[in-house]
Structure 1
Amino acid sequence: MTAATLPAAWLIATGARPGNLQERSQLRRDVARQVIARQLGLRADAVTIGHDARGCPLLDRPGGTALHLSLATRAGLVAVGLAERPVGIDVERVDPAQALPLAALHPTEATLLLDLPQTARPLAFARLWAAKEAYVKALGTGFARPPESFAVSEQTSERFTIVDPARPGATTGVRHTIKNGGQETLAAAMVILG
C-alpha cells in the first residue's frame, strides 16, 4: 500500500520473531526497503537504507529525494515513518509486569502515571515511552538526550504534545494502539519536526 501524501507511517505485522539486535535491524531495513520502493514506484533493489554517523537510518538510494526516514521494530511489527522533514517513529509493547522507570520520566509524567489506576499504567507508560522515543529519533539524538528533560502530555487518545525547554513552542505527534493478533498490545507513536 502507498500513501497519498507524506508524511506517512506504516505499521506492518511481519510474523517474524527476530532473536537479536542484528536480526531486528535486518528485518526493519528489509521491510522499509519494500515500503519505500512501493511508495516511490521503484523496484526494491533500487532502494538502499544506510545510517548516518549517529546511527539514524537514512535513504542512501535513490539519492536526491530529501526524504527523512525512521524505523522501529517490536514483537514482529515493523514501523516505518517517511516524511519531508525530520521524523521519528517508535513501537513499544505493553508489559503489565514491567516496573515503571520513574527516574527516567519528567516529573509531570511520573505524577500522571502514578495518579492512574494500577491496571491502566502499563498501557499509559507504553504510549508515553513510544512518544518520547519517537521524539528523540526525530531530533536525531536518541536517548543521548535525557528522557526526563522534556514532557509528553496527552491531547486526545490519538494525539500528544511534547514540551521541551530546549526547543521553542510545543511539538505534536500522533499515536496508535495495536492489538497484535490478540496476543499482545503495542503502542506506536510518530513525531515530525516542523
Structure 2
Amino acid sequence: MTAVEHPVFARLYPRMARAMDEGGLVEHRRRLLAGLAGEVIEIGAGPGGNFPHYPPEVTAVLAVEPEPRLRAIAERAAAQAPVPVEVVDGLAERLPIPDHSVDAAVFCLVLCSVPDPVAALAGARRVLRPGGRLRVLEHGRADGHPVLARVQRLMDATFWPALAGGCHTGRDPIAAIERAGFTVDRVERFMFPAARTPFSFHLLATAHSGPDPLAE
C-alpha cells in the first residue's frame, strides 16, 4: 500500500473536477486522449475524469491512483468506461507493471502534485515500449507574467501544497518531461480559465520515449 492520503482534498477535488469539466476542461481531456491505441497507463487518475473519453482503439487502461478515497471513486467510474479500465494503488516512481509493457502513458493534472515530477515521468518512461507515447495535460508556471509568477512562487513556498494535496502552481512540466529523457513532439499552451490567475497557465503536450540514456 502507498498510504498517500489527502482526506480533505480528496473530498473536495471530485466536485472541483466536475466544475472544471463543465467549464470547458472536458474538451481538453478529449484532445489529450485522441488517437491513443493499445495498452495505456494513466498515472494519477484521480476520480477517473478521463475514463469516459478514451477512444475505442484503446484495448486496456491501467489507472494508478494512490489516494484511497479518489481511488474508490475511480473504481466506480471505471465500471462505466467505454474501454476496459483497471484501477490500482501505486506510485508513479514505482509503477506496479514490468518494464516496456504499455503503448502510452497519460498524465492529467498530476505533475503539479507528485513529490518529484522528473522521477514520476521516468517511471512512465520505464514502462513504455520503445517509441511509446506520452500525453500530458497540466497547469504550470506563468511564463511571461512576472507578477503572477512571483505569486506562484510565494504560494508554492507557503500554504498552497498543504492545502491542495501537494499541488504546486509554478512548476515547468516541459522541462521535467525533457529531463526524464522524453523527446517533446508538440506543445499547445492555453489559458483555462480565460482570466489570468495563478492556476490558468495550462498546456497539452505529446512526447515519445527514446533510447534509455543509462544504456548509452
TM-score, normalized by the shorter chain, greater than 0.5: no
Compare the two structures and name the one with the higher strand fraction. 1
TM interval, short-chain normalised: 0.3 to 0.5
Question: TM-score, length-normalised on structure 2?
Answer: 0.32
Question: TM-score, length-normalised on structure 1?
Answer: 0.35
